[in-house]
Structure 1
């Protein structure tokens, strides 16, 4: 599966700023790393479609995607969720809602990945 690794500046500097200030409407996703059990935090933009919130991977099969598959209990902002990957055939409408929210920078990721690259999408169910 394709993956577009973010540059050093994005990983080390920009993501921290985005999480601290909500740049571009982002919020913080916290997942459990599959290898170490420690927390991984990244900024995400979370679209809502038909009352359901979603996580969308713009860079393909990122580490956070693999971590969510291994440990589907996640936190977005201050809310706990169970993340469930949705089938490829159901992703288009979520991605269509996501792309305008995420902005022009994310469009460059879509162009950089192969046209048939997978963009995993997870439905979020609140934990009660």
Structure 2
């Protein structure tokens, strides 16, 4: 997997207001446009770490896209190979497989169609209607994981 150094750190409002609000609602079982809490074990501590994510579904398959780039949860996911998705009191274990860059353009397009208003700024001007070559250019900057939910 190609690893680029791209990381877009959250600003103060996102860190102190937006993410805590989404996390609060999601923990209480209210999904905001597909939001879930991702729980993944830390790659050095082994402790569970949580962060709000958007669960993308394309052709019946589930994906997690990292709009902010190669952030801590993506590094932990590579090491752990899976985690849990939480919505209220519901917890779903899953295994994760990182999607190669050449398969990402259609998934990034679908993600941007759904959440551009929320995350578009992290894609440096590339949107759901951008040419394929623009999506290919940014693909290495945005990890995508195909997740397979464990049988309940």
Alpha-carbon distance, 1:58 to partner? 0.2
Give, in angstroms, the shift of residue 112 of structure 1: 7.6
| Cα RMSD for the two superposed structures | 2.1
Q: Distance in 2 between matches of 1:117 and 1:86?
A: 10
The CA distance in 1 between the partners of 2:6 and 2:105, in whole Å, is: 18
Cross-structure match for 1:107: 120
Structure 2: gaps spanning 5 or more residues: 26-30, 127-136
TM-score (norm 2): 0.75
Partner SS for 1:94: helix
Aligned counterparts of 2:140 and 2:147: Cα–Cα separation in 1: 22
Greater CA radius of gyration, 1 or 2? 2
**Alignment check: 8 A CA contact 1:56 1:120 kept:** yes
Deviates more, 1:17-26 or 1:102-111: 17-26
Give the match for residue 89 of structure 1: 102
Q: Please report how far the alpha carbon of residue 20 of structure 1 lies from its aligned counterpart in structure 2 after TM superposition.
A: 2.1
Q: Deviations over 1:31-76 (max 9, x none)?
A: 1111211111111111111111000000110100000000012111
TM-score of the aligned structures, taking structure 1 as reference length: 0.88
Q: Do the aligned residues in 2 keep the contact of 1:4 with 1:112 (CA within 8 Å)?
A: no
Structure with more relative contact order (C-alpha pairs < 8 Å, separation 6 or more): 1
Change (3 A) 1:67 1:25: same
